[in-house]
Amino acid sequence: MTRPRSTRKRSPASPTQQRQVSLWGKDTVVIERMSQEGRGIANRQGKIVFVSGALTGEQVRVQCTAVKRDFDTADMIMLLPDSAPSALRVLPQCRVYAECGGCTLQHWSPVAQQRHKQEALLAMLLPIAPGLILAPPIISCSSGFRHRVRLLVTRNTDKTYSLGFRQRGSHDAVSLQHCVVANAAVNTLLQVLPKILFAAPELQGLREIEIDADSDNQLGLCFYFAAHPGEKILSALRTAVLFDSVIAMRVRLTARRKSRSDALYDDGGEQLRQLQELYEEGELTLRLQPIIEDDSIEIEELQLAYLPGDFTQTHWSVNAALVSLALNWLKPGSDEIALDLFSGIGNFSLPFARRTKTVHAIEGDSDMVLRVEGNAQRNGIENISAKMLNLMTDTVTLPKADIAIVDPPRAGAKSVCATLARSKIKRLVYISCHPATLMRDARVLCGAGFQLTKAAAVDMFPHSGHSEAIVLFER
């Protein structure tokens, strides 16, 4: 029997369906300049091509990876034999550099990376701050600096475990037992952890592990499961991992996840997951010693307690310099009230409390609010008022204050800046981890009478295209 033809009208094909774009394969291009995130830029048949792994002046053979409306992307295959390598090209230190999705710029000298990030920041800010001269960048060592790393877990067919970071352009992991940018304590545990997991019961649903080392080289582990492992497994896991210097453990259930192309540089302050806490034990401690320009003023060393899995800046020496610069730029007075927005574990709240009348520490995570209160008590600080408030909503109501520190996630602080623009705030420091949202929020503040008076590049993540900055706004 012949089926009657449907009278239902078909939806018109989407533009993507209508235009089937094919990759153009391999070609040879000349790199003319560098993009903001550190890819080489070439011109191919009148169209921009972003080339990973290539540097200015090099003639390279490339493989197309994507074709977009306004640009294409490609990976460098090789430097042509008759083309001299850039004077800024160096030999990558990491043996899995070609596969790992974390350190994408190890082929570029650290000094050149830092200079490029400065130049990119200045070019971005000059249109809203004509005549601006950047302060010296905040830099430190470019290897052995990470005190925490987040690793993908792979369970092999022989029931052994492999740990690693996400491969470039893939959801799969590249296995490793040593990371060039991780510190010694993290690498020591990274080397033995697969054997520890193999000796534990079968950990079905284990997806990721974070290794965290504190200022005393005490270690913590945060386990991320896709399904509840059960109390028996949790008890056995605790017995397996809590030994010697591993003093803290946390287990979380991941309810939802959006894919990320870069697990190594998960900034933590912008979790794209819904997490359920299953188990917590122990705590770690980071020591913070800000340095004030005025030699007559000294802030005592602060101790910040936290759990593995909490957001902390991964380059702790850079963080100490960042906190110091924020204090020196804002010059808080003993009669002033400060806002610390997106306060985390109290990274800015605690040192600012030592210099001001009151600090309002505001954070959207209830656990972090408790952490700030606990850290204030631990350091004998009584002038911090911690409060939980969703700072990412359309309308934000803030306490009255004289100065502010804004340290948002990559999404920025649009609503917060709109509120600050209407407030009586005199000076504020904005810590940025994403150039686009920095510019959006800066325009809001400058449009309301603030002036961008100081700025500095912050090399929190050497060998990556990830750019951070600290900016001072004054009425």
Distance CA 107, CA 132 (A): 31
Tokens representing residue 167 in the block: 């491969």
Q: 60 forms bridges with which residues in the sheet?
A: 29, 79
Which is it for strands 59-67 and 403-406: parallel, antiparallel or unpaired? unpaired
- Concerning whether 433 is annotated as a catalytic residue, the answer is yes
- Residues with Cβ within 8 Å of 366's Cβ and at least 6 positions away in sequence, in order, are 388
Query: Which residues, 6 or more positions from 226, have their beta carbon under 8 angstroms from its beta carbon?
Result: 205, 206, 207, 253, 254
Catalytic residue among 103, 141, 433, 446: 433
Task: Return d(Cα 392, Cα 380) in angstroms, integer.
Answer: 31
Residue 314, judged by CB atoms within 10 A of its CB (0-12, 13-18, 19+), counts as buried
Cα separation, 442 vs 429, in Å, equals: 11
| DSSP state at residue 108 | B
Instruction: Give the number of other CB atoms < 10 A from CB of residue 78.
Output: 11
Q: Quote the CA–CA distance of 150 and 171 in Å, as a whole number.
A: 14
- Give CA–CA dist 103/97, Å, rounded: 7
395 vs 82: CA distance, rounded Å: 59
Let me know: does 456 contact 325? Beta carbons within 8 Å.
yes
CA pseudo-torsion sign 222, 265, 180, 323: negative
CA 419 to the chain's CA centroid? 25
Query: Hey, is 27 helix, strand or coil?
Result: strand
- The 8-class DSSP code of residue 182 comes to B
Q: What angle do CA 274, 276, 277 make, to 5 degrees?
A: 140
| Cα separation, 113 vs 146, whole angstroms | 18
Whether 360 and 387 have beta carbons less than 8 Å apart is answered as yes
Using DSSP, state whether 408 is helix, strand or coil.
Answer: coil
**Phi/psi-derived region of residue 88, left when phi > 0, alpha when psi is between -120 and 50, beta in every other case:** alpha
Query: Which residues are known to be catalytic?
Result: 433
